[in-house]
Amino acid sequence: MRYNILLLIFIFLVSCTNIPLSKPKSYYVPYKNSGFALIYNPDLHKNEKFYKKINNAKMEIGHNILKKNSILKITNPENMKSIELKITKKINYSPFYKIILSQKVADKLQLNKEMPFVDVTERKKNKSFIAKVATTHSEEKKVKNKAPITQVKIDNISINKKSDIKKSKKFSIIVGVFYSEISTNELKEILERGYVNNGSLIVKKLGKNKFMLSSKPYSSINTLKNLYFGLNKYGFDDLEIKQHD
């Protein structure tokens, strides 16, 4: 039964998207994706299926697709802090995550420990490469003006008390973008017949003959994980995860 469904999905994807079946040897698209980072700790070896260790006291990263010494730029979209590092080692970990980081890297980027969302972009190799951390001009400006901003917050603490409450971020899993609305809805129905819960996917029109199939926005990382693994059983790998404002 699963074989028939996978075959149907494959035929659907080939007929509805412009996926090239073969590429020239010289053709290479740098890796780029968004999703959650896996922050390393020794207890992961009890649950995750990998055996290589990362030194949490050093600036180390690992990846399950890219080769060792590939250069990646990791960005925290919440504060726009970014860092460029070479992959320390290739590590197998849950396909839900886009990268594995040492605790020191996570601290440098000031990632949310509960929802460590990042943008990952592969960079071209540079012989004089040096690991670097970058912040936006606006971030630097905030530091310079820290004292007066703090004073304003103290003076208006009773007025702005409600505004300090942060809303939970929501995230969606992007399955793909297709040409036909009818075909996209058909794929949605196929996926929701098996490993994906009915009603968890939505179709959004992006433009003329352009339709995106994605999950509904969720704030629970466990819900997103379960949905991701359901899609993974159909052969969907390394899916992008989108953060909603």
The DSSP string of the chain is -HHHHHHHHHHHHHHHS---S---TT-----EEEEEEEE--TTHHHHSS------TTS--EEESSSPTT-EEEEEETTTTEEEEEE--EE----TTEEEEE-HHHHHHHT--SSS-EEEEEEE---TT---EEE--HHHHHHHHTHHHHHHHHHHTTTTSTGGGPPPPPEEEEEEEEES-HHHHHHHHHHHTTTTS-TT-EEEEEEETTEEEEEEPPBS-HHHHHHHHHHHHTTT--S-EEEEE-
Options 3.40.50.10490, 3.40.50.2300, 3.30.470.20, 3.30.70.1070; CATH for 170-244 is: 3.30.70.1070
pTM: predicted TM-score of the whole model, two decimal places:
0.76
Kindly report, as residue ranges, where domains of CATH 3.30.70.1070 are found in the chain: 170-244
CATH entry 2.40.40.10 includes domain 30-134: yes
Tens of each residue's pLDDT in the chain, 245 residues: 444 555 555 555 555 554 444 455 556 789 999 999 999 988 887 766 667 889 999 999 999 999 999 999 999 999 999 999 999 999 988 889 999 999 999 999 999 999 999 999 999 876 555 666 555 444 444 544 444 433 434 344 444 544 445 678 899 999 999 999 999 999 999 999 888 999 999 999 998 889 999 999 999 999 999 999 999 998 888 899 999 87
Kindly report, as residue ranges, where domains of CATH 2.40.40.10 are found in the chain: 30-134
